[in-house]
């Protein structure tokens, strides 16, 4: 990482981040920049995920330029082979392999996600494990997922999903949720921050209503909530209540917004969406199409913000001004700073 | 503006510059970078031009990502609204607007041009007003205009229009003016510099001749002249004289070359051309087509010059060498330096 | 050259480099960046090659934007003319030319190659002349050649051709030479380094065999060799021997790999290939097609290496690790360092 990149870094290294969806990783090398680091991902013949530094220490070719040989990856330039632990296993021109290696990174596969740890190994035990989101594998839910590479800093998306007052402006045409106007209640607890918004007998947007088998605009109750789980993960959802039977939710939507920095101005965005109603394929496909449209709207505005930041310092002539609706986003920034401060102290 | 951009700045801030043609500004936000500053332009319902800093102070989205609400502009991200004076008028999640604002810039609409002042407000009274070019609205003239974004520093185009010995080389195929060979007379007066070139019984290039109803090559008299009016504006023209009746011009062409820096290596170029003869649409369309072709030739050579400057320092192994034909261009550089020095003293 | 480019420079200036193939240079100006310098090449009416700094000292336009006027080149902007020695011969607006000039660079045409010297003139006599490769004009050989602009530092290609253990990995599909596995014998002699590899009764790859009129896989003897001749030139070849008559080669392939830095991350690559058997057009076209395919494979991997270097420092987390097969490449780096050190001492 260059000195500039280091100075611009606003993400913790000692954190589990999502590297890929599990079904993206197989027996073809998958090259991906994560936290300013070139990484190659693949599976062993037994199906275990391997993550290595994607740079051969011999002459700097990406290992991903090559191919798998059993559980090893063979560089595409001179055929050096490295095993899952990163150790060089074979150099074709030598009788036995030299004592060289690439970095090997801890990974954890959990449901549809592959998590990676690119930080200081000595501190791994002190780092919170990848957050568990059991609903992703709960048979009561149908899920859809997707990934985008976005030309914006990852924190811009964190702030985006922590302040949903943008719904009526960015997503009027897609989600059609026009009643998210008031600042939600915000609760900070340790290194998490949660918002919660209640809607009482509020007309249901068309997408919500159809999935519940109701007429668009039917006045129902809802609770919207979302939690900054870690710098890598945001979890959110909506619970729907029939005002005539408000004890138990009549349906739930759940989301994970997972962001992994590529560098200071780019991120990988992985999203997972689930619901426990209207779970048939046709309805889910419609759901996925609306989500895709909406997340492209987020991408468009975030890229515009990043482009402006790239051309001018973030704080313009009038500084940056937060309002009450930013409470969760501002708390999230402080949490990220605490994650990063812990690294500094440990150094 | 970054420190690098600041160091590279070779234009005065305390100066009126052209922001747009009047007919480019309407009820859709127009985003434009001017003097390293993001600006959004629009008209109020009453038709007044508004120019605001194109960056919401909340989360740095461009205001131009949004839409107009009456006389206000609403940010496309969270719906913050700002009025023509830049003051925040509404935040959807708040009962009353917070005391935040964006910069609002003075503008003046004059004929086909919208001028903008992005400099120090305290010094506005001491800055020369936008130059008046009454011929642009004189019913005796037909006009054509156009605009280009050129990947070159604005001063390169100033120098281009102040030394027309390039005509026979850059524009041989378009304008066909091959007799502009000698250095013209140059007169400096305060912060303006003017060149003047007389042609006596010189064969008329085809374009000139046709507009005057003459055979190409008819030997006529002409006077070519041009003035550096301000760092933003250059005015020029040609008067045509029948050698048999040389008291009054038989026809006049007038031009304005208006350049506004985007950044150190890009400019907006606005040109206005007029003549008092051959003013019918068909003849003017032909005129406009030749101008467009010629100005694209200028763009091509200026982009090549800028590309060379971008890769190597401006002064090559042999330095930069001016000749007599550069007298006006060199004087113009000194005038720009004086404009900039006045800012420094005032700081 | 900027300070950054200077710092990144890893090529000697005081060295003859290939500027172009002879048949690329004619009566149209050829613009080419060589050693971070803009150069324009053309031929006089008598056919002599001229190389000038491609930047008019008047207003920094590339001279290559213009056209030839006899033996002079005329700038496309204001028509300044410069002769083969770089001296200004004409300024259209002046009665006699001013004492200005552009740099003129020594060139030598030799067979299909045009060599250029962009270094210190005072040291020219002490610099080794362009290497002679007489086979390029030997009527006993048929030749093919080609050129590519590659987005990689020139030394990456030097290293590539000095370590042919990449053959079986990068070129398995094109050249099909799978038996270049052992490190070759390496001999350093002054400022050259040579590798030599012998193959005894080794099955001939299809391309080799066909050209020799043999069945693919026929066990024959071969000697592969290659020499770092100068920072600009690498010469290599293969001799084929019938094991039944091993006194004299039954055929020879010869190659020149000529690399000229454009800047720190780009090079011109000129290659010349020759053989003394299967020299008919049809066979040579097939040969050329295989070479082109193979050299594109080199380009692909070198661009990947350079891209990785551009994003991260060359030495990754594990440093750079050389093995025995790199002996020639490592020696070549030291030779380049000696060439550069001689410049420094002379300064």
CA distances from B94 to A181, B88, B99 (A): 9, 12, 12
Residues C157, C162, C163, CA angle at the centre, nearest 5°?
100
Do residues B44 and B170 share a domain? no
Give residue-wise pLDDT tens across range C246-282.
Answer: 899 999 999 999 999 999 999 999 999 999 999 999 9
Mean predicted confidence (pLDDT) in B219-245: 98
Which residue is associated with the tokens 């007389």?
B198
Beta strands in C98-250 (DSSP E): 107-110, 113-117, 142-150, 185-189, 192-203, 219-230, 233-241
CA dist., res. B89 & res. B98, Å (int): 8
Question: Hey, is A173 helix, strand or coil?
Answer: coil
CB of B321 less than 8 A from some CB of C: yes
The arrangement of strands across the sheet holding B142-150 comes to B142-150, B266-275, B251-263, B233-241, B219-230, B192-203, B185-189
Cα separation, C50 vs C40, in Å, equals: 8
- Which residues of chain B lie closer than 8 angstroms to C93, CB-CB? 165, 181-183, 323-325
Task: Decide if B142 contacts B279 (C-beta within 8 A).
Answer: yes
Q: Which residue of B has its CA nearest to C38?
A: B308
Hey, are the CB atoms on A77 and C313 less than 8 Å from each other?
Answer: no
Domain limit, last residue, from C81, C104, C126 = C126
- The pLDDT of A142-163, averaged and rounded, is 97
Tell me, yes or no, whether C121 and C140 share the same domain.
no
Tell me if C117 sits within 8 A of C124, measured CB to CB.
yes
Q: Domain boundary at C107, C126, C145, which?
A: C126
C97 and chain B in contact, CB less than 8 A: no
Rounded-to-integer distance, Cα B315 and Cα C57, Å: 8
Interface test with B, best of A166, A186, A315 (most B CBs within 10 A): A166
Size of interface A-C (CB pairs under 8 A): 86
Following CA atoms A242, A247, A248, A254 in sequence, which dihedral angle do they give, to the nearest 10 degrees?
80
- Per the prediction, chain A carries an average pLDDT of 94
Contact assignment for B301 to C101 by CB distance below 8 Å: no
**What is the rounded distance in angstroms from the CA atom of residue C116 to the CA atom of residue C105?**
7
C158: CATH:
3.90.380.10
Residue of chain A minimizing CA distance to C155: A59
Taking CB atoms and an 8 Å cutoff, what residues of chain C touch A62?
Answer: 304-305, 308
Please list every residue in chain C whose beta carbon sits closer than 8 Å to the beta carbon of residue A57. Answer: 316, 318-321
3-state helix, strand, coil in chain C (%, to 5): 30, 35, 40
Cβ contact A82:A102 at 8 Å: yes
What would the mean pLDDT of C269-297 be, rounded to a whole number? 97
> C115: buried, middle or exposed (CB in 10 Å: 19+, 13-18, 0-12)?
buried
Instruction: Quote the pLDDT of residue C314.
Output: 56
CB contact under 8 A, B92 and A324: no
Chain B: give the shortest CA distance to residue C101, in Å. Answer: 7
Confidence (pTM):
0.94
CA-nearest residue of chain B to A310?
B2
Q: What pLDDT, in 10s, does the model give residues C3-16?
A: 555 558 999 999 99
* Residue B320: strand, helix, or coil: coil
| Residue where the block lists tokens 């609400």 | B69
Render pLDDT for C49-97 as a digit per residue (tens, 0 to 9).
Answer: 999 999 999 999 999 999 999 999 999 999 999 999 999 999 999 999 9
C119 and C224 share one domain = no
With cut-offs at 50, 70 and 90, classify the pLDDT of residue B1.
Answer: very low
- H/E run at residue A101: none
Q: What band does B316 get if pLDDT is binned at 50, 70 and 90?
A: low
Tokens of A325: 């609706």
| Chain C neighbours, 3+ Cβ pairs < 8 A | A, B
Output the six-digit token pair for A132.
């568990």
Residue among B170, B314, B323 whose CB faces C58 most closely: B323
A87 DSSP 8-state letter: B
**Is residue A154 domain-shared with residue A113, that is, in the same domain?**
no
Question: What tens digit of pLDDT does each residue of A9-40 get?
Answer: 999 999 999 999 999 999 999 999 999 999 99
Query: In degrees, to the nearest 5, what angle opens at C-alpha A102 toward C-alphas A98 and A108?
Result: 135
* Spatial distance between the Cα atoms of C123 and A81, rounded to a whole number of angstroms: 47
pLDDT digits 0-9 by tens, A296-331:
999 999 999 999 999 886 555 667 899 999 999 999
pLDDT interval class at C1 (50, 70, 90) = very low
Q: What are phi and psi of C146, to 5 degrees?
A: -165, 165
C228 three-state secondary structure: strand
Any CB–CB contact under 8 A between A60 and chain C? yes
For residues C177 and A256, give the distance between their C-alpha atoms in angstroms, rounded to a whole number: 51
Q: Does C62 touch chain B (CB under 8 A)?
A: yes
The size of the B-C interface in CB pairs under 8 A is 87
* Pair C215, C311 in one domain: yes
% of residues, chain A, pLDDT over 90: 92
pLDDT at res. A312: 80
Q: Cβ of B66 and A320 within 8 Å? A: no
Among the partner residues A170, A309, A318, nearest to B57 by beta-carbon distance: A318
The chains found to touch A (3+ Cβ pairs under 8 angstroms) are B, C
For residue B73 the two structure tokens come to: 């502009």
Chain A nearest CA to C99, separation (Å):
43
Domain boundary among B91, B126, B161: B126
Q: What is the mean pLDDT of residues A112-136?
A: 97
- Cα gap B72→B27, rounded to integer Å: 11
Smallest Cα–Cα separation from B127: which of B15, B13, B252? Answer: B15
Same domain, yes or no, for A168 and A232? yes
Helix (H) or strand (E) run with residue C154 in it = helix C154-162
Q: What residue in C sits closest to A57 (Cα-Cα)?
A: C320
Section B107-136 average pLDDT: 97
Report yes or no: A77 at the C interface, CB cutoff 8 Å: yes
Percent above pLDDT 70 for chain C: 95
B28 with B242: CB under 8 angstroms? no
- A-chain CB neighbours of B59 within 8 Å are 159, 305, 320, 326
Range of the domain at A41: 3-126
Whether C111 and C156 map to the same domain: the answer is no
The reply to whether residue A100 touches residue C318, judged by beta carbons under 8 angstroms, is yes
Shortest alpha-carbon distance between residue B206 and chain C (Å): 22
Identify whether residues C164 and C296 lie together within a single domain. Answer: yes
Cβ neighbours of residue A178 under 8 Å, at least 6 residues apart? A167, A168, A172, A205
Sheet holding A233-241, edge to edge: A142-150, A266-275, A251-263, A233-241, A219-230, A192-203, A185-189
Domain of A97, CATH number, reads 2.102.10.10
Quote the CA–CA distance of B105 and A56 in Å, as a whole number. 55
DSSP, res C199: E
ipTM of the assembly? Answer: 0.93
Asked if B335 contacts C89 with a C-beta cutoff of 8 angstroms, the reply is: no
CA distances from B302 to A9, B156, B259, B329 (A): 38, 7, 13, 15
Query: What's the token pair of residue B320?
Result: 């930069």
Do residue B65 and residue B148 come from a single domain?
A: no
Structure confidence at residue C218 (pLDDT): 97
Q: Is pLDDT at C158 greater than 60 in this prediction?
A: yes
Q: Residue A318: what pLDDT?
A: 61
Neighbouring CB atoms inside 10 A of B128's CB total 13
| Residues A60, C308: C-beta atoms closer than 8 Å | yes
- Chain C contact for A78, CB < 8 A? yes
Mean model confidence pLDDT for chain C: 94
Q: A115 and A168: one domain?
A: no
Closest Cα in chain B, distance from residue A119 (Å): 30
Count the domains in chain B.
2
Contact C79 B169 (CB under 8 A): yes
- Give the minimum alpha-carbon distance from C169 to chain A in angstroms, rounded to a whole number: 6
- Measured in whole angstroms, the distance separating CA C224 from the mean position of its chain's CA atoms is 20
pLDDT surpassing 50 at residue A215: yes
Q: Which residues are CB-neighbours of A230 under 8 A, at least 6 positions away?
A: A15, A16, A128, A131, A191
**CA neighbor of B56 nearest in space, from A174, A312, A175, A269:** A312
Residue among B66, B76, B91 whose CB faces A323 most closely = B91
The residue of A54, A56, A61, A67 whose CB has the most chain C CBs within 10 angstroms, and thus the best one to mutate to test that interface, is A61
One domain for residues A162 and A290: yes
CA distance C117 to C150: 21
Chain B residues within an 8 Å CB radius of A182: 93
Q: Measure the CA–CA gap between C252 and C249, rounded to whole angstroms.
A: 7
Mean pLDDT of A240-250: 95
Question: CB distance C323–A38 less than 8 Å?
Answer: no
CB contact under 8 A, A308 and B53: no
B112 shares its domain with B213: no
Selecting from A309, A314, A325 the residue whose C-beta is nearest the C-beta of B93 gives A325
């Amino acid at each position: 990482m260059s000195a500039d990149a280091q100075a611009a870094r606003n993400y913790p290294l000692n954190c589990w981040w999502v590297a890929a969806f599990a079904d993206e990783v197989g027996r073809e090398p998958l090259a991906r920049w994560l936290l300013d680091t070139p990484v190659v991902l693949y599976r062993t013949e037994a199906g275990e995920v391997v993550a290595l530094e994607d740079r051969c220490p011999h002459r700097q070719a990406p290992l991903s330029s090559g191919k798998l040989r059993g559980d090893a990856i063979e560089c595409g330039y001179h055929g050096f082979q490295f095993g899952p632990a990163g150790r060089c296993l074979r150099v074709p021109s030598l009788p036995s392999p030299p004592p060289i290696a690439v970095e090997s990174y801890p990974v954890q596969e959990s449901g549809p996600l592959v998590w990676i740890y690119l930080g200081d190994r000595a501190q791994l035990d002190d780092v919170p494990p990848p957050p568990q989101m059991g609903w992703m594998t709960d048979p009561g839910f149908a899920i859809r997922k997707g990934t985008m590479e976005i030309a914006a800093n990852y924190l811009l998306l964190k702030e985006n999903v922590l302040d949903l007052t943008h719904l009526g402006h960015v997503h009027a045409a897609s989600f059609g949720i026009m009643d998210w106007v008031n600042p939600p209640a915000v609760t900070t607890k340790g290194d998490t921050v949660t918002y919660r918004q209640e809607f009482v007998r509020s007309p249901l947007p068309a997408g919500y209503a159809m999935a519940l088998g109701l007429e668009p605009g039917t006045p129902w109750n809802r609770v919207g909530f979302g939690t900054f789980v870690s710098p890598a993960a945001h979890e959110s959802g909506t619970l729907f209540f029939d005002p005539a039977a408000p004890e138990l939710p009549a349906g739930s939507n759940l989301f994970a917004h997972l962001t992994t920095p590529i560098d200071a101005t780019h991120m990988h965005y992985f999203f997972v969406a689930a619901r426990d109603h209207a779970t048939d394929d046709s309805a889910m496909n419609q759901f996925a199409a609306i989500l895709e449209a909406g997340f492209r709207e987020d991408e468009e505005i975030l890229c515009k913000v990043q482009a402006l930041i790239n051309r001018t310092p973030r704080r313009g002539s009038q500084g940056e001004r937060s309002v009450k609706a930013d409470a969760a986003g501002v708390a999230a920034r402080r949490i990220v700073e605490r994650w990063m401060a812990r690294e500094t102290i440990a150094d």
